[in-house]
Structure 1
């Protein structure tokens, strides 16, 4: 679902997957004086509007949102369906119930529904090898365990690059690229046993939609029209950019300044992972069907058994940490205030959506708005606190002691299974596990039970063992972003290289990069620590270390970015230390730490000096570069870069360390 990385921020990437909240209080701070008698839910249109109108006015201003739809349903009826602000502020076109938005990843729930329809019809075996429904295509698989439709729909396929299969861009609006044409050239690889780990997965839902297409014999867009949209009376919904919908589509505004951008399509054209356009009017009908156990206007759209799978959590990090159903998600259960909630968020550049269902209360709400901010998370929290407030605060858990001996099984370097640039180290200090990464910094963890811990901010970390009792994954329910969207996997440390001594100051860096498959042996079991590298070899290692290549279509942009300002680049030429520093800084965009004095003593080219100073100021420096008390240092800028030096610079710049990074 991603394109060149310089055109899409990490925040947008996260929003395109799920609901990521920044407004969540620490668990211990969550309080409510409400009583059970106050839990009534939305029943009166005037009351809902009295609640929503000032809320949207305030939050839209806070998040610089020009326009939003908002629809609430309960007990099979639409309570409120209205718009706020402008679909197009330049033309003063207001948002109303018929304004069209790109609902992005909310589309995944429709794909799950279509797949379950085919399960109901006997055309797909939910727990059988999904390759049977891929028209002869094979999924490369390193595990020996076949992928099932159930794995795809619960985000547990084990695919290597869950965002590496589909590209977005304005140029794809008018193109028609079929899944038949696209998938054979872009098939992902299964690298973890299916069902073993949770990884939010766009590639998996694309494959699920393709399986629906083949099992039904109907092209995916036509299938959704005939089997879902028409039976539900969703006359303003489509997988494709139909002209009559484009005329009513809200403008796309991106970034904090709300820059107007053209809408973006995707390749392949029919995107089961996120290509549906819809309105508040249509989504009300869809939610009513969902809350009526698959029935709408006297028709069964999907069986009650299938709907149960869509509304019942299938994947858990811990018994109190539900993650996914078939198609839906349930992050931050604390915000549900004790209610059973399933939700799905979605984002395309300039459009965001959120659907929240409270099945046991027959209540749901949906909203779409025309920027890529976190407005939806605020509305969700306020909605639940207002209509379904928490009855009582949970008691603080009792924490268990943890000895250093017992802690050792958790130690290691972990990498997020979706966003490879998020790496975490877990060690031990003064009776506690210590978790460290660039996103959360250092966090001491307290043990609730041997597989469940809580950090200093009240966020839970759930570990998962393999069949031999060894720790293999953890799931971190932190609102700070990327760690939330997948399990993190413990990396296997390579055997010690025969030419890297145990006393080498580079050993840890070399082992880390080897475990992450960024740099490995040069020949046999030798790392060649003092050997040199070409510019091309360092570029390849740098791209792996940065980890952003996981986004489809991003690598070309990354290569252009890292080369900026460097004269006479030649992939086959040996790389100097100053060229390596500039390449790293081009991607990191770091500022020198104001409180750290640095003074470069040796000669470096003018185009490299600022990059060298910024990295050294941040502590991104190899062990053989010594910084004196007065901040002076010799970088050996024009010397050739040694492989061990490259390992240190790359590990420090893109590893787990919570350096004092401050971005421009």
Structure 2
């Protein structure tokens, strides 16, 4: 699952014809997998088959990383060639009570649960009760999925993170209040159902909804609750006695305490969807070792077939690509940070809940896997351990640096424009052409000059790849960025097409570009017909709704709930029906933007504002977040008209500058 998005470093991968390879209906029906694209002739130099050697590698690594990321306790289990080589705990499951982590310590494995859900689906594919290439609605007991594309949504699309829905995190509702609740899946989905807005199979988007609904399909066709199905058909056959979809008294008693980034304990969170196929499983290092052995033994464990080999092959083989050299996903697993795989065929899955984080890494061709859980949601720790593990046991061969090709201005035009991440709406990227090069800019990673490897594939100065994708009309419609410093790798970003202009916005209006941007992003639309009403006013509630959309996290229920509390902080008498003033709007923006106060010293507000609003107005002005009719003079002074009512055109400028594609700070002219 997702950690708090505002601190997400990972929360959690071409040819000219297609970025996403498609399986034929025939191959999906019989459960065949796609050809592997792993690098041939990559040999293991140091098999992880000696417990003492692994300890000599892992002990100092975990000591270093747990200290670096303020982690109190972690489990670590390595399996090789059908055997558990090491299963060890580090630090404390509860630091206050000095209870150490051991192989029986329970963790919430969060999104690692998705691999179990995929396994359950494939079991039913083996039995003929589910087909991967059919419209999934036939397996949902009457539930309907709104679809604007005309292309049916299939289980294959869902399990490969290519469903195309507008709100892939609509199921991400968590909190302590859900630990003891029982919310059935059918009841949940009858109230929370997104819309398919992109052709299924066209673009990769990390997707909690799709796996939750896939679990419901299993529940519906088997006539058994998801939790009972998993217990009977997966956990019990594998001897996973400490694994469950639901909280139980015994597992809660053995669960590692949850800790936040500061090291303070936080409550255990449950899911708004009780049986949450996308992320509610609890397990231990001991149980996960059995699960990984089954994965590496082609679906067999203890002489029993848990799932067919052809189904397991689909779970391990790459199904979705950003480029022929950049795999993204299998059925159930992912392959992000592909450069860290060192040429090996790797299928992995990470997961986060507040206060817990997990990672499972499979290297099937080397009969090796490892799993780790720890009681903090610092995702980068698991990434660091993964990188160190691969470098130690599977060091990379030297790879020749690609030869970069020139990019002419005319050829560059097809890439240019504004793109928005299809999962993280706050991540908006702008592409321009400057001095013979393609330039990308977003607020998270900054500005990058890109070099072309081949048409549709570029790289930044650090070697991170940018892969573009065409839609069925042959137009550039998406790009995928592998930079681990950002969060764009969790989904493709989609090109935003500017909509027809409003009839009441003059061509030369200083506000037109801002209005057009927000219109394209569906943040501020027409007031009536094709009229924007630029001189009209707004209520505090209308501005709050637009602010939440501009902020970009409204698609995450947990974050949306927190943002709504945050943006009214310090505003006396907030009332959705009250007309909004410019000072209230500035304060609401700053409450979410959180520009550091010391940056506001370079500007001076000349007209009167209420005390609670002065700092917010100056903070925004210091970054150039002001409407076109507000001038910041050379000495930093400016007038803002704080107590005037906010006009709709002014709102568009403030929101576009604060949360649009601009990388801040904006240089003052």
TM-score (norm. length: structure 1) = 0.94
The equivalent residue for 1:229 is: 235
Q: Which 5+ residue runs of structure 2 have no aligned equivalent?
A: 14-40
Instruction: Mark the CA change 1:107 to 1:582 in structure 2 (over 3 Å): closer, same or farther.
Output: same
Equivalent pair of 1:294/1:302 in contact (CA under 8 Å): yes
Paired residues of 1:499 and 1:527 also in contact (CA < 8 A): yes
After superposition, the C-alpha distances for 1:242-275 in whole angstroms (9 at most, x for unaligned) are 11111111111111x2110121111211110001
Distance 1:488 1:302 in 2: 35
**CA–CA separation in structure 2 for the residues paired with 1:117 and 1:645:** 56
Q: How far 1:371 moved relative to its partner?
A: 0.7
> Equivalent of 1:567, from 567, 572, 591?
572
Counterpart of 2:293 in 1: which secondary structure? helix
Q: Distance in 2 between matches of 1:108 and 1:36?
A: 29
1:411 and 2:416 matched: yes
Distance 1:361 1:342 in 2: 12
Shift of 1:135: 1.3
1:70 alignment counterpart: 76
SS at match of 2:554: helix
Structure-2 change in CA distance of 1:509 and 1:498 (3 Å) = same
After superposition, residues 242-641 of structure 1 pair within 5 angstroms as 242-255=248-261, 257-373=262-378, 374-392=380-398, 394-592=399-597, 594=599, 597-641=602-646
Contact 2:448–2:461 under 8 Å retained in 1? yes
Q: Which runs of 5+ in 1 are unaligned?
A: 19-34
The CA deviation string for residues 260-307 of structure 1, in whole angstroms up to 9 with x for no partner, is 012111121111000111111110010000001101111110010001
Q: 1:57 aligns with which of 60, 63, 78?
A: 63
CA deviations over 1:430-488 (Å, ceiling 9, x no partner): 01111111011111111111101111222111001112221101111111232110000
CA distance in 2 between counterparts of 1:583 and 1:97 reads 47
Displacement after TM superposition at 1:660 (Å)? 2.2
- SS across alignment from 2:452: strand
Q: Does 1:10 align with 2:16?
A: no
Mapped contact 2:599–2:619 kept (Cα < 8 A): no
How far the C-alpha of 1:313 sits from its partner, in A, is 0.5
Q: 1:36 to 1:400 in 2, by over 3 A?
A: closer
Equivalent residue for 1:111, pick from 107, 117, 120: 117
- SS of the aligned residue for 1:587 comes to helix
TM-score (norm 2): 0.93
Against the structure 1 CA distance between its residues 517 and 233, is the aligned structure 2 distance closer, same or farther, given a 3 Å change threshold? same
- Asked if the contact 1:412–1:491 (Cα under 8 Å) also holds between the matched residues in 2, the reply is yes
The match for 1:24 is none
Residue 180 of structure 1 deviates from its aligned partner by: 2.0
User: Match for 1:128 among 100, 124, 134?
Assistant: 134
Q: Measure the CA separation in 2 of the matches of 1:526 and 1:196.
A: 34
Change (3 A) 1:330 1:653: same
What is the alpha-carbon distance in structure 2 between the residues aligned to residue 532 and residue 450 of structure 1? 47
Q: CA deviation at 1:16?
A: 4.3
Say if 1:86 and 1:193 are closer, same or farther in 2 by CA, change over 3 A: same
How far 1:596 moved relative to its partner?
Answer: 6.4
Whether the aligned pair in 1 keeps the contact of 2:239 and 2:290 (CA below 8 Å) is yes
1:618-642 per-residue CA deviation (whole Å, 9 max, x = no partner) reads 1111111111111110111112212
CA distance in 2, matches of 1:200, 1:83: 30
* Counterpart Cα distance in 1 of 2:432 and 2:539: 35
Structure 1 stretch displaced more, 284-293 or 635-644: 635-644
Give distance in 1, aligned partners of 2:77 and 2:235. 18
Contact in 1 for aligned 2:443/2:663 (Cα 8 Å): yes
Displacement after TM superposition at 1:593 (Å): 5.9
- What's the counterpart of residue 664 of structure 2? 659
Aligned CA distance change for structure 1 residues 493 and 358 (closer, same or farther; 3 Å): same
Matched residue SS, 2:276 = coil
Provide the rounded CA distance (Å) in 2 between the counterparts of 1:403 and 1:53. Answer: 52
1:559 shift after superposition: 2.3
What is the CA–CA distance in structure 2 between the aligned matches of 1:313 and 1:217, rounded to whole Å?
31
The SS at the match of 2:420 is strand
Change (3 A) 1:37 1:372: closer
Quickly say closer, same or farther: Cα 1:137–1:87, change in 2 above 3 A. same
Q: CA RMSD in A?
A: 1.8
In the alignment, which residue of structure 2 is the partner of 1:40?
A: 46
Secondary structure in structure 1 of the residue aligned to 2:602: coil
Superposition map of 1:81-92 within 5 A: 81-92=87-98
Report the equivalent of 2:19.
Answer: none
